Structure 1
């Protein structure tokens, strides 16, 4: 009888595992990525000559003596520069700003498309720093014909787009989380919104939440104190309550949730910071009292309350040599030295300028991962080369971030 019951239990467990849905998900910041139409306009504007108006400090198009090309100017100082449509001009740097030509940008798009096709076998890809849906279509296999899209529209040019294979499941909702953009702030102090895609897969709801949080406040180990007065840390501090509220609402209807993207924060360092997570030493599972600041983004948004929104950060692994993996492990414990970071970012290791520490994947209850999230190497595709004057040998990095991928069961 006991053997019979054990056999039944084994069969039932196997059946339950078989009923679990599987999905492979990736996150990738593509670094000011644009569609070709936008690129052509951007190159045109950056190639114009400008002269500074001493009365305003702004640059205006002009051929007068003392002019400078847009490539050599802070684009935010160019009168009328529209950051909702165009990036700054100094996106690509190789001993100076690379004066981008269209052929090199087309080559970059081809390289991204080839990389995704060969090395990023994901059902869902959450992108950051893209100009919109068209820019993502242009770098997906078959022009994105096999994908559906959930895009951010409006806001500034560094947008979010989630792409997923049409065969995966049915779209339920695609929603922009405006609160994360801090709409009450002045325009120059507004970060990016969040983006949530809800899919129905095998009758179950899966909600993918894509973020690109405020940059410039990376780690408590390098002076990036979240509770400090640095302007970037002040803005990131302001994003804590909106993102926590968003996560709790996202889990309230029973959907399985995944929060991923470019957090611009080394949350592993936060977890190793020995100081209390809050300036008043109160627990993060209780509402934060007025005037109390947080030192830890991760401990606020993954505080275990409510239980439906109890996020867990996936372990991270680098798909490179043992020596490279050792550096990746050390990067979770301490700040790497400049030579160590340069080595990890080199062609033989991860290849991207921001190799680890910024991008993360968190999952809610009911989701299990088949192993750690993997940082994928982009090899020699992460460097820039200005090229000869005719520009034929110009090379542009496919991104300053490496993609991260995870295989999930829910």
Structure 2
């Protein structure tokens, strides 16, 4: 009898495994990435010369012999009438000083990204951050994006979000900008980036993905990134907690399977290891926060178990590198790496990206299982910028982040 029961259970498991759809999802911050037309405008603007008005600190276009090239202005957004909606700062690439980027070098960078995605990011869905728009992603997807559909937006600021998915995966139900994450009640200079929500029909069921790029510079409660502290970056990130939680609770209410991913600019593993109460008044994160009460943990506030359908799990992360690198990745989830450890992990013999771990995460809701731990994919030497002393033979880093690749069973 026991053997019969075991056989039935085995067959049931086999049926489940056979019916589960494996979907590979990736998140990748491409670092101020632009389409070529925007790159040309950016190069032209950075190549102009400017003089500073000492009374205002603003820079104005000038042909004065003492004028400074835009490449060398410390804060590009201090240039009068700079198109901050579409153009990044000028000092994106640095190699023994700011690299004065040439269009051909950027075109080569795009080719390297396309080849890397084709070779090392075999994902059905890729959530991008820090891109100028859909055209910028079309230009770096294999075969010009012929096999993909895109969800993106215009407006806001230059660092936008785009989600790409393979046409064979499913059809779009909706593509929405989550404006609440941009804190529209704040002054313009205190508004972070919005979120981007994509809902797909996959094999007759809905899959909903939220791509985020949250406020930077409030990374770890173990460093100087205490969410309840008074630093302006942490104050802004604190404000984004409620909009993220509202999205999760709203969008899981109908039973849809949900993936929340992107550049959180927050080490969620450190939050889980922080032994302090989640809230400053010691109240449970399942209850509404009263005025003046602050959260110490974005993750535990957003995924508090109530309602149960909104519970999210952080996907375990490994590093696609050697044993020493894997050990450093494990340590990075427990404590801050020191400068030597961080430099080693970011070097081209290890992961190769300047921000290797602790910022990018994938969270999954009920009904989704991981087929394997997520992988921080090494980009090795592609994460380095270099050129000759005369500015020729430029090679631009493809990103300062490594892709995070996760295989899921739906």
TM-score relative to the length of structure 2: 0.98
RMSD: 1.1
Alignment length, in residue pairs?
409
Deviation at 1:233, TM superposition (A): 0.4
Find the counterpart in structure 1 of residue 155 from structure 2.
154
Find the counterpart in structure 2 of residue 72 from structure 1.
72
Per-residue CA distance 1:160-215 (angstroms, 9 max, x = gap): 00000001111101111000000000000000000111111111111111000000
Q: For residues 178 and 171 of structure 2, what CA distance do their matches in structure 1 show?
A: 21
Q: For residues 301 and 257 of structure 2, what CA distance do their matches in structure 1 show?
A: 19
SS in 2 for 1:235: helix
Contact 1:83 1:156 survives alignment (8 Å): yes
Q: For residues 42 and 309 of structure 1, what CA distance do their matches in structure 2 show?
A: 42
SS in 2 for 1:333: coil
Deviation at 1:5, TM superposition (A): 4.6
Contact 1:99 1:386 survives alignment (8 Å): no
Find the counterpart in structure 2 of residue 245 from structure 1.
246
Find the counterpart in structure 1 of residue 407 from structure 2.
407
Find the counterpart in structure 2 of residue 173 from structure 1.
174
Q: Is 1:354 aligned to residue 355 of structure 2?
A: yes
Q: For residues 311 and 124 of structure 2, what CA distance do their matches in structure 1 show?
A: 24
Contact 1:128 1:262 survives alignment (8 Å): yes
Deviation at 1:6, TM superposition (A): 4.0
Find the counterpart in structure 2 of residue 216 from structure 1.
217
More deviation, 46-55/357-366: 46-55
Q: Is 1:333 aligned to residue 351 of structure 2?
A: no
Q: For residues 330 and 218 of structure 2, what CA distance do their matches in structure 1 show?
A: 21
Deviation at 1:2, TM superposition (A): 5.3
Per-residue CA distance 1:377-404 (angstroms, 9 max, x = gap): 0000111114342x43111110000000
Q: For residues 249 and 313 of structure 1, what CA distance do their matches in structure 2 show?
A: 19
Gaps of 5+ in 1: none
Deviation at 1:11, TM superposition (A): 2.2
Deviation at 1:82, TM superposition (A): 1.5
Find the counterpart in structure 1 of residue 18 from structure 2.
18
Gaps of 5+ in 2: none
Q: Is 1:385 aligned to residue 369 of structure 2?
A: no
Find the counterpart in structure 2 of residue 321 from structure 1.
322
Contact 1:49 1:63 survives alignment (8 Å): yes
Find the counterpart in structure 1 of residue 229 from structure 2.
228
Contact 1:387 1:395 survives alignment (8 Å): no
Find the counterpart in structure 2 of residue 126 from structure 1.
127
Find the counterpart in structure 1 of residue 397 from structure 2.
397
Contact 1:60 1:78 survives alignment (8 Å): yes
Q: For residues 157 and 333 of structure 1, what CA distance do their matches in structure 2 show?
A: 34
TM-score relative to the length of structure 1: 0.98
Q: For residues 174 and 70 of structure 2, what CA distance do their matches in structure 1 show?
A: 41
